[in-house]
Chain A
Amino acid sequence: MQAYFFGNSGSALFGVYHPPGPKRFQDRAVLLCYSIGREYMKAHWAFRRLSKMLSDEGFHVFRFDYFGTGDSAGESSEGSVLRWKADVVCAFQELMDISRAKEASIVGFRLGAALSNEVCAEGFHVKNLVLWDPVVIGKNYMEELKALHQKRPSKYGEIPAGQDFKELLGYQLPPGFQGEIEKIDLLSTARFSAEKTSLIVSNEKSEFSALRDRLAALNVDFTFHLVEETGDSGDVERVDDVMLVNDILLKIREVIGEKQL
């Protein structure tokens, strides 16, 4: 495993490259895209585990922190959805450069799924786009986050009226965050241009079913997998919990490894 900074020197991103293990998949690579905020923290262990599982299968694997998150440059208030999309592109290019892989897949978790789909739409050839519990409708996502926040005002504080709040669930937000998130709508604006799309979800949320129906209506080559985790997916209330998922990681590995050159 090699951790290093990449991208522009003034706004370097933190990345971790996992070289392929003994089994080789004919130069295939996988980019992992985190979510943000508390979802990023909770998923870190799962992403590390998934990285090892995929590299043991012979894939080049790369995961990274978006600008203004994790160990990457930038204050927490400086990121933006637009910037993060650019970071996914940068990370994808970095992965192709260091791996010299012939093709790459992307696994995006929650907001990372929405961001990575937008990247596909910009012309990069992606073998398999795995949408893991994706943020489908940005407005709903904001409402979920705000509902969690408002459940414990003594812990998180009150949310000010209007859209100009700077802090949600303890995390400092960039200006205009809510507006940018609310523009995400995989049901109406998104194109799905990866060679194959895999929708892997951990629960039966109605918007996941709606996304499945949309993919079918668009004649996208896709598969749908509902994987109800038997492990501890982490108490969403406890900030210091992590997602101890296993079944869903096995499914992702299975889906990514399906086709070989």
Chain B
Amino acid sequence: MKEKIINFGSNKGCIGVLTEPDAKPEKGCSPALLMWNAGVLHRVGPYRLYVDMARTVAGIGFPALRFDISGKGDSAPRRQNVGEGERSIQDIIDAMDFLTGNRGVERFVLLGLCSGADEAFPAAVRDPRVAGLILLDGFGYRTVGYYFHHYGPRLFKINPWMNFFKSNLNAIISRINEEGNRIGKGENVFVREFPAKNKAKKNLLSLLDRGARVLFVYSGGVAGSYYNYKGQFKDMFGGTIFGENLEVEYFEEASHTYTRLRDRKKLIAHVCSWVQNRFGTIEGKKAHIASS
């Protein structure tokens, strides 16, 4: 494994660290994993998650690039006058362009956490080079089951009842009735805007239709906000059949930023297995199974 610092994008203002496997992969074979800022943290990720993820993924034969979106971390602001969402998508595309032009990488797996997930999804929809998408605490929508899991345990405690009657009852009712694409603050989660559910479903289906593989991983850290039980994803979209290229995991014990070392190790192991299973060569898969 070797690491190299790269500058790319508008005026070469974006900075990233490219981690490459020792053995050069066949051109066009192994996709590269791309990761960038989660919230306001710089490219190393919370608790150095992206550094460890990149080095582990490179260890199984896939290049990985962790970088700072323009204006965050060590990257310069983008000079064009574009909105924040579009800026991030442009930076992601620039990162892919760099690796395509300089390393011959033709396929990519985008990994985003929190705001990174919100940026990864539209970037994946837009750019057909994205063959894989990993959303950590990506978009989600409350269901009846969510409220059951949230309020059920509280039914037998007095304080939540007192708070319930003190709070604005109308506001709670309207929140239950709304389409549910805006969430409040949970553990370490900023206020985020999710796409309308129907639009998210449509875009997700179009991604899967073109052959992309998608992995959603939800943590227990967003249980207070919008996702709190295994099986919620299926309930979110009714009876929609997404097919075998969509996988959903729920790591209930993990916090939103994978605070505990054991949770980060579990996440990294799962991502590596997923990448190997979905994109690895037969030899690579055999080696991965032998080593795990």
Nearest Cβ on chain B to A109's Cβ, whole angstroms? 16
Given A4-B5, A240-B46, answer yes or no on A71-B17 (Cβ-Cβ < 8 Å).
yes
Query: In the complex, which residues of chain A have a beta carbon less than 8 angstroms from the beta carbon of B58?
Result: none
Whether A23 is near chain B, meaning CB under 8 Å from some CB there, is: no
Contact, CB under 8 Å: B41 / A240: yes
Partner of B188, one of A69, A76, A240: A240
Contact, CB under 8 Å: A48 / B188: no
SS class, residues of chain B in contact with chain A: loop
In the complex, A44 Cα to B46 Cα: how many Å?
12
In the complex, A238 Cα to B76 Cα: how many Å?
25
Tell me how many residues of A have a C-beta within 8 Å of chain B.
29
Whether A171 is near chain B, meaning CB under 8 Å from some CB there, is: yes
In the complex, A227 Cα to B48 Cα: how many Å?
31
In the complex, A241 Cα to B74 Cα: how many Å?
17
Contact, CB under 8 Å: A238 / B51: no
Whether B105 is near chain A, meaning CB under 8 Å from some CB there, is: no
Whether B273 is near chain A, meaning CB under 8 Å from some CB there, is: no
In the complex, A240 Cα to B47 Cα: how many Å?
10
Whether A176 is near chain B, meaning CB under 8 Å from some CB there, is: no
Partner of B5, one of A3, A172, A240: A3
Whether B261 is near chain A, meaning CB under 8 Å from some CB there, is: yes
In the complex, A14 Cα to B42 Cα: how many Å?
14
In the complex, A183 Cα to B48 Cα: how many Å?
26
27 inter-chain pairs at a CB distance below 8 angstroms, sorted by A residue, are A1-B74, A3-B5, A3-B15, A3-B74, A5-B3, A41-B41, A41-B42, A41-B44, A41-B46, A44-B42, A45-B40, A69-B48, A71-B3, A71-B17, A71-B51, A73-B3, A76-B48, A76-B52, A155-B255, A155-B259, A166-B261, A167-B261, A170-B259, A238-B188, A240-B38, A240-B41, A240-B46
